Chains A and B, each alone.
Chain A
Amino acid sequence: MADDTSIRALEEKVAELRTMMESGGVDLSEEITLLEKKLFALRREQYARMSDWDRVKLARHPERPRGSPLVEAVAENFYELRGDRMGGDDPALRGGPALLDGRRIMILFHHRGSTREQQHACRFGMATPQGYRKAIRLMNIAERLRLPLLSLVDTPGAYPGVQSEEQNIAGAIAESISRTLALDVPTLTVILGEGGSGGAIAIAATDRVLMMENATYSVISPEGAAAILWKDPQATPQAAQALRLTAPPLMELGLIDQIIAEPVGGAHTDPKSTADELRTAVSNHLHELSSIPLDELRALRYKRYRNAGSVRAAADQRG
């Protein structure tokens, strides 16, 4: 991002002054307040000028709240369930029951890892067939125990590897979509960071789909689109723009239901308030969904996906 370095420099300065104040006993609070104001203004200014490509970078920001730390911040008593019961466990797609605002739910989430080792182990959040088969297993448990399903999506895409293909990644994604659509419990997705193509939709065909303000959701990465359609990696920012992968256009297209506000500068600037906003939004939607009879819920869900981006539905809307 254009001003990332100046923002970073200011952040560091503020942190430095705080340390000085704490260790030295000098009162620097006025200076700190002044710098923080400046920092906020800078962030807001930069925020307003953000291109779609900037937003992609924000969605991928290394410090963005995500994965298990975010789950712990949003929900209580998370109990991780591991393994697909068919030969393995994928650390990139995780889940288990938890309490959210007093409601017991089943959470599925992509995990990118924070340390280098973790990131390698979970391939930066790219799930394998084992991950999607574990997701199906957890959905089955959710249905048996009548737990609403919450999918927290944050993945560059499903893992494109030789072993993924040998273990039928396409079939695993298809089965996962099918199971999600047929679930006899309320279902909800939040796109947290990157909603990468098949790896995202595999667990995101739910009753409601919400997006964080700086999340992206796309059929292909901007890099991939630039390579295939423009045949030029330089066209990546252009591709990001053309794909309409940010929340507002997807809201306009009727493909998502709500945009969850993030603090100015992005979720990473205030993980606590981000978690609070997320919890409130999820809780509200789960509350609404829980009041709809299951038969009706499934009929609404069918209608939603049957009409999604449909030529006829669009024509009806216009006509």
Chain B
Amino acid sequence: MPIRRDDRGRYVEVEPRRTEETAWLRCRECGELVFRRKLKESNHICQRCGAYFFLTAHERVTSLVDEDSFEPLGLGATSLDPLEFVDRRPYQERLEEAQAITGLNDAILVGRGTLDGCPLVLAVMDFRFIGGSMGQVVGDEIAAALERCAQEEVPFVLVVASGGARVQEGMVSLLQMAKTVAARNVLAEAAVPFIAVLTYPSSGGMLASVGSLADITIAEQGAMIGFAGPRVIEQTTGERLPAGFQTASFALEHGMVDQVVTRESLRAELTRALSVLQGGSHG
């Protein structure tokens, strides 16, 4: 089965994926109508053309941890809209809409679970929630998860699906970069492993902070990995972007990630990475 979305560096977009689920979804890559239940069985990969469908945070969690082992740990907080931001629409409205679509408080789902029996804390971002952007809630959730992992000596796994900082929270969102990095340093002092999984997309402030500081970094095939968006680069510099720019294999080639894996093999790869980092005894 040809699962080479990598050259295009994109997943197939199926939007909007609302909570009121339709039974059928159309693959935007090949046009195939896919029965939603079938899609769940196939790890949300189109069986006809091999394209990857977006995963919601819950779907990602299900695909990674042992069945029924996931226990949410979220702080239950929602954004305070610190700037009372209004663009063409009030930020508050965008938040409420995103909450209704995803059933999440914000762009991240945190919980504990086991993977092949090994305990871990898992934080998974949801791209449907304002582009998976990091604002005060995402920053708080990641920092709290890192602190918990340090205290309980449980490995931390972060699955990134984020366009970057939450613009509607202005400087408050920029400071989440410092917050998550500070908490990451606490985990390092506790000598507890941290694995990052970079999916579509991993960019901007999310990548330029905690997303780039894991002990092992695994890219899912089809991921977009890069700091600045292609359009920004072209507009600012006038440069032409090389083929395969900011794809998972580009990241591997340029030394940014340790592995590129298919969606089917991600779980096994994560198990392997976790086991190899555990049980360090020196000092």
Q: Which A positions have Cβ atoms within 8 angstroms of B?
A: 158, 160-162, 164-171, 173-175, 177-178, 181-182, 197-198, 200-202, 205, 217-220, 224-225, 228-231, 235, 239, 242-245, 249-250, 253, 255, 301-302, 305-306, 308-312, 314-315
Say which one of B2-10, B37-45, B48-56, B240-248 lies at the interface with A.
B240-248
Instruction: Check A239–B87 contact: CB distance below 8 A.
Output: yes
Give the A-B contact count at a CB cut-off of 8 A: 188
Known: A162-B237, A314-B80. A178 touches B213 (CB 8 A): yes
Task: Identify which of A175, A224, A301 contacts B213 (C-beta below 8 A).
Answer: A175
Question: Within the assembled complex, what's the spacing in Å between the Cα atoms of A166 and B241?
Answer: 11
Known: A306-B183, A311-B136. A177 touches B171 (CB 8 A): no
Q: Mark B148-169, 1 if CB is under 8 A from A, else 0.
A: 0000000000000000010111
Indicate if B172 sits at the interface (CB-CB under 8 A): yes
Indicate if B239 sits at the interface (CB-CB under 8 A): yes
Task: Identify which of B78, B80, B185 contacts A182 (C-beta below 8 A).
Answer: B185
Question: Within the assembled complex, what's the spacing in Å between the Cα atoms of A277 and B80?
Answer: 36
Residues of B within 8 A of A302 (CB): 182, 186
Residues of B within 8 A of A166 (CB): 254
Question: Within the assembled complex, what's the spacing in Å between the Cα atoms of A174 and B226?
Answer: 13
Q: How many residues of B contact A (CB 8 A)?
A: 61
Smallest CB gap from B94: residue in A: A229
Residues of A within 8 A of B183 (CB): 306
User: Would you list 16 pairs from A and B whose C-beta atoms are within 8 A, ordered by A residue?
Assistant: A160-B236, A162-B242, A165-B233, A165-B245, A168-B254, A201-B175, A219-B165, A219-B169, A220-B167, A229-B88, A242-B83, A245-B170, A305-B179, A309-B82, A311-B75, A312-B75
Residues of B within 8 A of A231 (CB): 88
Residues of B within 8 A of A309 (CB): 82, 136, 139, 169, 171-173, 175-176, 179
Q: Is the interface of B mostly helix, strand, loop or mixed?
A: helix
Task: Identify which of B167, B182, B227 contacts A173 (C-beta below 8 A).
Answer: B227
Indicate if B86 sits at the interface (CB-CB under 8 A): yes
Residues of B within 8 A of A178 (CB): 181, 184-185, 213
Instruction: Check A160–B205 contact: CB distance below 8 A.
Output: no
The 4 A-B pairs with the shortest beta carbon distances in the complex, nearest first, are A309-B172, A160-B228, A229-B87, A174-B212
Task: Identify which of A161, A171, A177, A249 contacts B237 (C-beta below 8 A).
Answer: A161
Smallest CB gap from A232: residue in B: B88
Residues of A within 8 A of B92 (CB): none
Task: Identify which of B78, B178, B211 contacts A308 (C-beta below 8 A).
Answer: B178
Task: Identify which of A170, A198, A228, A245 contacts B226 (C-beta below 8 A).
Answer: A170
Known: A181-B181, A182-B185. A244 touches B170 (CB 8 A): yes
Instruction: Check A311–B209 contact: CB distance below 8 A.
Output: no
Indicate if B174 sits at the interface (CB-CB under 8 A): yes
Instruction: Check B175–A305 contact: CB distance below 8 A.
Output: yes
Indicate if B177 sits at the interface (CB-CB under 8 A): yes
Question: Within the assembled complex, what's the spacing in Å between the Cα atoms of A163 and B80?
Answer: 38
Instruction: Check B237–A311 contact: CB distance below 8 A.
Output: no
Indicate if B85 sits at the interface (CB-CB under 8 A): yes
Question: Within the assembled complex, what's the spacing in Å between the Cα atoms of A262 and B137?
Answer: 36
Instruction: Check A160–B237 contact: CB distance below 8 A.
Output: yes
